[in-house]
Amino acid sequence: MENQSIITIENLVKRFPMGKDSFTALKNINLKFGTGEFTGLIGPSGSGKTTLLNILGSLDVPTEGKAYVLGKSIGSLTTKEAAHLRKESLGFIFQSYNLLQVHTVFENVEFPLLLLKYAKSVRHKMVMDALEWVGLTEKVHSKPPQLSGGECQRVAIARAMVKKPSLVLADEPTANLDAANSHHILKTMETLNRELNTTFIFATHDEKVISYLRRKIYLLDGRVDKDEIIRINQNERS
Amino acid sequence: MKLALKLAYRNLIGAGLRTWLNVIVLSFSFVVIIWLKGIMSGWDYQAKTDMTNWEIGGGQYWHENYDPLDPFTLLDSHAPIPAALQSEINSGDVVPLLIAQGTIFPEGRMQSVVIKGINPEQTIFRIPTQKLDTSTDAIPAIIGAIMAKNSRLQTGDVVTLRWRDTNGTFDAADIVIVEIFSSNVPAIEQSQLYIALDKLQEMMILADEVTTLTFRESKESRPEIDGWTLKTKSMLTRQVDEMIKTKSAGQTILFVILLLLAMLAIFDTQVLSIFRRQKEIGTYIALGYTRQQVVGLFTVEGTMHAVLAAIVSMVYGMPFLIWQAKVGWTMPIDASEFGMAIAQTLYPVYSLGLVVSTVVVVTLTTAVVSYLPARKIAKMNPTEALRGKLQ
């Protein structure tokens, strides 16, 4: 399954201005990601994993080098094209869930489909399917403040997965969760990755997440320190 | 746009009390502005209607020398009734008036009056002139309530009237007050004395001569008559228009203050939203919105306050405005002192144009006020917004 390349990064450099000088967050990164990968960008704070994830998510642009996501060069996209790429093909999962607080669970998950202008009946079915994947069909009318952290992150996963994107970018998805909830949502994501062949890229330094990864890219001071592919027997996990 | 409306509605309703506080403040502005404008329209309508019914009819011919603001012109402001108008006079569609100066002596005091000779059978003015058709020893006269109050005259009182006829000879006779009428037009009440036209012509030795001719039908084009000046209804009510315009300008300041208060609440909410909802803004962008679309969403959200306010205004404002139109607004001070055509109780008149224009102006102002802080979103860095970092 993990064959066709959906992301290619060539000599990527990212600098941030810091007063008169600049800080180099990513230094000469060269990577390729295939379809259906379950990969983690691992490293301590300041290693550049979130910066790289933001570039892959077309929320930021490289200072030098190229990053191709689903055949699109991130640095060359207009704001509108970048928004279109995110809307059509990317899903995001954030450390602090980033759910719309005044919307219900249903409305939160429905949001990406509204942007894609799906018909109401289609939206309803897709949202209910997504909530079923994460086991939250009974919370459909609840609002985020009424949910636990684990439930919120499951809603965020459903929102990221509802449109069945090619790529899901998850930034520290378990950082605010306890061990049980972390394993629950990681299993959910692993299942979705397997069943829908969606590529997952994590930015993490959480050992629980790392234990689920099939590819581990270690970043240190903005450079790729190690790129490790793990062969896991799926039976072990289940 | 449809999506922005849907999301904005969800966000507003979800925000609960914060939204409703703004909406109530804004709806208050709607209702007060419509009510005040309705009062002005009502006053305009009342003033013109009362002037038409009591003072100017459908327009007038004035003797070329007549100037109501200069009493010295009265001596020379009379001429025989133009033959061209005789048939209309006979049919009651034109009312001739002879105007002269005089003095009355109520309770031994001396008071200048304008004596108006009018046909008792006329039906153009609402002045109860039929009461002049009374047989008494003294000359029957009617006066307005303001005059009655100032001269302390009552119905049945007899008072001496002195006048100077066309030959310059002073003469005097007793008059009896047969009726005191009340109008909302001070100009026809203050120091005005109404007696029968033929009697005044006889007193002044001015047989068949008059000062003004008032016609029933309001026509902008009537024939020019030599020696007479045509004063159309619009010319005679111009003063009212100018007065209303002046008052409206004054009211605009109140509207601006009201709007400012409401807009301050909206602006404050928008600024707070942009600071407090950074993560949400970042999330919208991550999920596929452009920054401009988020600006649009926040602008729509702010503007929707005005839409909700219009709906809330309908709920409590409409019954209030309808009730006001029925019972009117009674001024706390005596309106007759104002010296202009204003009723003690004003009945607001609301037109569709008034309501629509108020809603449009308030909504557009809200849109602008909502857009101004929302522009900041366009400069936001989405990655920092996602982390909720203040920018």
Residue-wise pLDDT tens digits, B177-189 = 999 999 888 889 8
Within a domain: A71: no
Structurally, chain A folds into a number of domains equal to 1
Ordered by start, the domain boundaries in chain B are 2-52+239-386, 59-217
Domain membership of residue A2 (yes or no) is no
Type of residue numbered A217: I
Tokens 């999506």 map to which residue? B3
Q: Measured between CB atoms, does A98 come within 8 Å of chain B?
A: yes
In a mutational test of the A interface, the residue from B290, B384, B387 whose CB has the highest number of chain A CBs within 10 Å is B290
Residues of A in contact with B382 (CB under 8 A): 59-60
Query: Is residue A162 one of the residues assigned to a domain?
Result: yes
Of B11, B283, B285, which has the smallest distance from its Cβ to A102's Cβ? Answer: B11
Q: Hey, of A45, A61, A92, which one would you mutate to test binding to chain B, going by the most B CBs within 10 A of its CB?
A: A92
Nearest CB neighbour to A98, from listed B15, B383, B386? B386
Which residues of chain B does A60 touch, with a Cβ-Cβ cutoff of 8 Å? 382-383
Q: Kindly state whether B209 is in contact with chain A, defined as any CB-CB distance less than 8 angstroms.
A: no
Whether A231 is covered by a domain: the verdict is yes
Min Cα separation B289/chain A (Å) = 6
Q: Token pair for residue B369?
A: 């006020």
Out of B7, B283, B289, the one facing A98 most closely (by C-beta) is: B283
Q: Residue A100: which of B283, B382, B383 has the nearest Cβ? A: B283
Task: Encode chain B in three state secondary structure.
Answer: CHHHHHHHHHHHHHHCHHHHHHHHHHHHHHHHHHHHHHHHHHHHHHHHHHHHHHHHCCEEEEECCCCCCCHHHHHHCCEECCHHHHHHHHHCCEEEEEEEEEEECHHHCCEEEEEEEECCCCCCCCCCHHHHCCCCCCEEEEEEHHHHHHHCCCCCCEEEEEEECCCCCEEEEEEEEEEEECCCCHHHCCCEEEEEHHHHHHHHCCCCEECEEEECCCCCCCCCCCCEEEEEHHHHCHHHHHHHHHHHHHHHHHHHHHHHHHHHHHHHHHHHHHHHCHHHHHHHHHCCCCHHHHHHHHHHHHHHHHHHHHHHHHHHHHHHHHHHHHHCEECCCCHHHHCCCCCCEECCCCCHHHHHHHHHHHHHHHHHHHHHHHHHHHHCCHHHHHCCCCC
CA B79 to chain centre: 35
Residue numbers of the domain that contains A157: 37-50+79-237
Residue A25 within a domain: no
CA of A235, closest CA in chain B: separation in Å?
34
pLDDT tens for each residue of chain B, 391 residues long? 788 888 888 888 888 888 888 898 889 888 988 998 898 888 888 888 888 899 999 999 999 999 988 888 888 999 999 998 999 999 999 999 999 999 999 988 899 999 999 999 999 999 999 999 988 889 999 999 989 998 999 999 999 999 999 998 999 999 999 999 998 888 898 899 999 999 999 999 999 999 999 998 877 678 888 999 999 988 888 887 887 788 778 778 878 887 888 788 888 888 888 888 888 899 999 999 988 899 999 999 989 989 999 999 999 999 999 999 999 888 776 666 665 666 778 889 888 988 898 889 889 998 998 898 888 887 888 888 887 766 6
- The per-residue pLDDT for range A88-130, each reduced to its tens digit, is 999 999 988 999 988 999 999 999 999 999 999 999 999 999 9
Contacts of A87 in chain B (CB under 8 A): 287-289
Block residue for tokens 């409703």: B20
Contact B225, B119 (CB under 8 A): no
Given an 8 Å threshold on Cβ–Cβ distance, is B383 in contact with A59?
A: yes
Chain B interface includes A111 (CB < 8 A):
yes
Q: Which residue of A has its CA nearest to B279?
A: A98
Q: Do B13 and A102 touch (CB under 8 A)?
A: yes
Give the closest-approach CA distance of B388 to chain A in angstroms.
Answer: 10
CB atoms within 10 A of CB B148: 20
Q: Does B7 touch chain A (CB under 8 A)?
A: yes
Please list every residue in chain A whose beta carbon sits closer than 8 Å to the beta carbon of residue B282.
98
CATH of the domain at A223: 3.40.50.300
Separation CA B342–CA B244 (nearest Å)? 11
In A, minimum Cα distance to B3 occurs at: A114
Cβ distance A79 to B288 less than 8 Å, yes or no, reads no
Residue A87 to residue B382, Cβ atoms within 8 A: no
Interface A–B counts its CB contacts (< 8 A) at 68
Per-residue pLDDT reduced to its tens digit, B177-235: 999 999 888 889 889 999 999 999 999 999 999 999 999 887 767 888 899 999 998 88
Please give the Cα distance from B183 to B7 (Å, whole number).
57
Cβ-defined contact of B13 to A107 (cutoff 8 Å)? no
Task: Select from A86, A99, A117 the Cβ nearest to the Cβ of B286.
Answer: A86
With beta carbons less than 8 A apart as the criterion, state whether B307 and B364 touch. no
Q: Cα–Cα distance between B236 and B60 in angstroms, integer?
A: 9
